[in-house]
């Protein structure tokens, strides 16, 4: 076999990179093959920064993604098998999902049917409930991080900027903050974050599934982030007048500007979505199930108070490179 057609060297003598799947600001994901087990895997390779001093915690943040995802054993969360660091390169070895990401599906088909939207959203609530129960806030809920399989299952991935209960030193640097289209107002302002930040981002994803586009547009990602911080999300019925009015209330609760006015937890949001979906599937037999009284109570963050980031929104705007493009 000549050099041109030689098989690329295996990672730690085991994993073979086959073809790229996706690329983001920090890493490239490849389809790979595990020669030891005999199965396809997804290999996420950390991209060396152009300026190594710009993000001194990049490798540790990458390692923490593996640790965070490994804490969650849930059918709606992509499994991380291993973290590899050979000194020069770092890799996450993950479960390979043979499917499409939600962003690509929306781009190809436009607005999704209500029932399918709610089915995906309900599964994401279950994934977030599992993460929140372990003290993890995802902080980058977006359609690109939701993978869809042919059997209808939705899988949440990319815990790269997860916030953990045991400290936030690695994510206070302003380098990695999330994706502008889906930032919660408090995330854009640099306020403390609780579970409700993820619920807002999921609400924005639901908005996009139902209307075909994110709620806000702007010339730059920071313009969009500014709008999330200062403006209310438009009504879904203004973008898609064919949607029922009672669906509006379901979405509005998730995207309230005040975190205390949102669903109290991912569990409660999932129950509300499930009840509405059941009404769609079985309208004649539908009897509204009484939600726990706490669903009308005040939401409380699941994490302790953290210090406000210096400079608030305007300080954040000066670190514009930390907001990833909505086109990723």
Nearest-angstrom CA–CA distance, 106 and 123: 17
Catalytic (active site) residue 140: yes
Distance from C-alpha of 312 to C-alpha of 125, rounded to nearest angstrom: 29
Residue 287's pLDDT is: 54
Q: Which of 35-39, 131-135, 169-173, 190-194 has the lowest mean pLDDT?
A: 169-173
Q: Where are the beta strands (DSSP E) in 51-126?
A: 80-85, 90-95, 99-101
pLDDT tens sequence across 191-244: 888 899 999 999 999 999 999 999 999 999 999 999 999 999 999 999 999 999
The burial of 213, by beta-carbon neighbours within 10 Å (0-12 exposed, 13-18 middle, 19 or more buried), is given as middle
Q: Which domains does the chain have, with CATH numbers?
A: 17-95 (3.30.200.20), 99-319 (1.10.510.10)
Render pLDDT for 261-311 as a digit per residue (tens, 0 to 9). 999 999 999 999 999 999 988 776 555 544 444 444 445 444 444 444 445
| pLDDT at site 10 | 77
DSSP class of residue 97?
A: P
What are the φ/ψ torsions at residue 186 (nearest 5 degrees)? -70, -30
Query: Of these residues, 34, 55, 140, 181, which one is catalytic?
Result: 140
């Amino acid at each position: 076999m000549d050099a041109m057609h030689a098989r690329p060297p295996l990672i730690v003598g085991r994993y073979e990179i086959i073809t790229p799947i996706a690329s983001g600001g920090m890493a490239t994901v490849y389809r790979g093959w595990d020669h030891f087990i005999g199965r396809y895997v997804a290999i996420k390779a950390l991209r060396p920064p152009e300026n190594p001093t710009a993000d001194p915690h990049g490798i540790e943040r990458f390692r923490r993604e593996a640790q965070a995802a490994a804490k969650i054993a849930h059918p709606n969360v992509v499994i991380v098998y291993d973290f590899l660091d050979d000194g020069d390169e770092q890799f996450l070895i993950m479960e390979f999902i043979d499917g499409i990401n939600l962003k690509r599906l929306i781009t190809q088909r436009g607005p999704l049917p209500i029932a399918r939207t709610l089915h995906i959203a309900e599964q994401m609530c279950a994934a977030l409930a599992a993460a929140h129960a372990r003290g993890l806030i995802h902080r980058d809920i977006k359609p690109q991080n939701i993978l869809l399989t042919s059997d209808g299952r939705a899988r949440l991935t990319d815990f790269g900027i997860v916030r953990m209960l045991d400290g936030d030193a690695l994510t206070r640097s302003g380098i990695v903050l999330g994706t502008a289209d889906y930032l919660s107002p408090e995330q854009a302002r640099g306020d403390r974050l609780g579970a409700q930040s993820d619920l807002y981002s999921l609400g924005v994803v639901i908005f996009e599934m139902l209307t075909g586009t994110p709620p806000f547009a702007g010339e730059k990602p920071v313009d969009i982030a500014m709008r999330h911080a200062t403006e209310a999300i438009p009504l879904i019925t203004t973008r898609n007048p064919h949607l029922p009015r009672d669906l509006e209330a379901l979405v509005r609760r998730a995207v309230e500007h005040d975190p205390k006015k949102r669903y109290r937890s991912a569990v409660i949001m999932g129950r509300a979505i499930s009840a509405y979906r059941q009404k769609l599937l079985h309208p004649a037999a539908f009897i509204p199930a009484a939600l726990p009284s706490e669903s009308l109570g005040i939401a409380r963050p699941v994490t302790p108070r953290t210090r406000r980031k210096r400079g608030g929104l305007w300080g954040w705007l000066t670190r514009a490179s930390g907001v990833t493009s909505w086109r990723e």
